[in-house]
Amino acid sequence: MITNAHVVAGTEEVWLDTVLGTFKADVVFYDPQLDIAVLRSEELTMAPLQWASATAVTGEDAIVMGFPNSGPFEAAPARISERLKIAGPNIYATGRVEREAYTARGSIRQGNSGGPMLNLDGQVLGVVFGASADESDIGYALTADEVKEAIGNIAALDTPVGTQECVVR
């Protein structure tokens, strides 16, 4: 399972609460620069979502999934505004990083972090990592290409790693 590093930062235990039950997971990849983490649970047997076969284009419809404002699960419509390089701080604000991301217009709020942005075929376009502080209907998602390049062979990730310190956002 892919999420954001800031979602699991500082954790000693991670539990996945799914429709199939609650499962213990290990963090097996943690990148505070790009804000990506990978969780693995041997008990969870759900089929993974598939990566989109093409990058999204301006004006393309998308779906953002998550638990906005710590509430119930929500799948909300969004529209891709553009694909661009975004420069900003890492999750600890100790350095700057450039990320390839989509900006999207829709209901993207705190709590959507780490959730997928899907195309209308249910394939993963990217991973949501933030919402605009200035515009309430603008959010950001790391592109699938950015995430895949950082993670590499996800099937080979099986060794638990540390999650450094907790971060307040």
Catalytic residue, from 26, 31, 53, 113: name it. Answer: 113
- Name the maximum alpha-carbon separation found in the chain: 41
Find residue 18's DSSP bridge partners. Answer: 21
Would residue 32 count as lying in a domain? yes
Q: Check whether residue 33 and residue 79 sit in a common domain.
A: no
Would residue 168 count as lying in a domain? no
Whether 35 sits among the annotated catalytic residues: the reply is yes
Domain that holds residue 27: 2-48+151-156
pTM here? 0.92
Say how far apart CA 79 and CA 96 lie, in whole Å. Answer: 27
Both tokens assigned to 159: 């060794």
Q: Residue 99: which CATH number?
A: 2.40.10.10
Would residue 167 count as lying in a domain? no
Catalytic residue, from 6, 17, 26, 132: name it. Answer: 6
Q: Check whether residue 121 and residue 143 sit in a common domain.
A: yes
Would residue 35 count as lying in a domain? yes
Whether 137 sits among the annotated catalytic residues: the reply is no
Whether 132 sits among the annotated catalytic residues: the reply is no
What pLDDT sits at residue 148? 97
**Average model confidence (pLDDT) for the chain?**
93
Q: Check whether residue 68 and residue 98 sit in a common domain.
A: yes
pLDDT in tens, 115-139: 999 999 999 999 999 988 888 899 9
pLDDT confidence band for 91 (50 / 70 / 90): very high
